[in-house]
């Protein structure tokens, strides 16, 4: 599996968890070859994040907070930060700390 897809699957798990705990009206969607339960807003956020990640010219990609290129628009940046903060905590509780590496905290 490519590094990008691995990153995106982690991100998708974060968004899915956040969505499940905060939103209603999830639908099954397919993204990065994975079936996910997301509301339309979160699906939109995920698609945006996938696009940004694929277009990221940096290799290796730095953690976003250490990156000098702020490639997310303000609205998406706010949303993704919220997702990372919330789901990051949940994953830490479950001992999935490896999921946090390289992400937006
Ligand atoms: Zn949602």
Q: Using one digit for the tens of pLDDT, what is the confidence trace for 39-83?
A: 999 999 999 999 988 888 887 777 777 787 778 899 999 999 999
Distance from residue 32's CA to the centre of ligand 1 (Å)? 17
Distance from residue 61's CA to the centre of ligand 1 (Å)? 26
How far, in Å, are 16, 34, 75, 81, 84 from residue 94 at the CA level?
16, 22, 29, 20, 15
Q: Is the dihedral of CA 71, 76, 79, 84 positive or negative?
A: negative
| Average pLDDT value over all residues in the chain | 85
Distance from residue 59's CA to the centre of ligand 1 (Å)? 30
Distance separating alpha carbons of residues 13 and 47, to the nearest angstrom: 13
Residue 45: partners with Cβ closer than 8 Å, 6 or more residues away: 15, 76, 79, 80, 83
Distance from residue 70's CA to the centre of ligand 1 (Å)? 23
| Tokens linked to 102 | 């390289």
Distance from residue 92's CA to the centre of ligand 1 (Å)? 21
First to last CA, the chain: 24
pLDDT at 3: 76
Residue 100's closest CA among 47, 87, 53? Answer: 87
Percent of the chain past pLDDT 70, that is, above it, reads 88
Distance from residue 54's CA to the centre of ligand 1 (Å)? 22
Predicted structure pTM score: 0.83
Distance from residue 81's CA to the centre of ligand 1 (Å)? 14
């Amino acid at each position: 599996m490519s590094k990008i897809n691995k990153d995106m699957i982690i991100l998708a798990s974060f968004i899915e968890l956040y969505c499940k705990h905060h939103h209603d009206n999830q639908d099954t969607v397919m993204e990065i070859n994975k079936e996910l339960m997301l509301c339309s807003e979160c699906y939109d956020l995920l698609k945006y994040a996938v696009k940004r990640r694929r277009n990221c010219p940096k290799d290796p990609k730095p953690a976003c907070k250490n990156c000098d290129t702020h490639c997310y628009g303000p609205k998406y940046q706010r949303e993704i930060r919220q997702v990372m903060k919330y789901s990051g905590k949940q994953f830490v509780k479950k001992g999935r700390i490896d999921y946090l590496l390289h992400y937006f905290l």
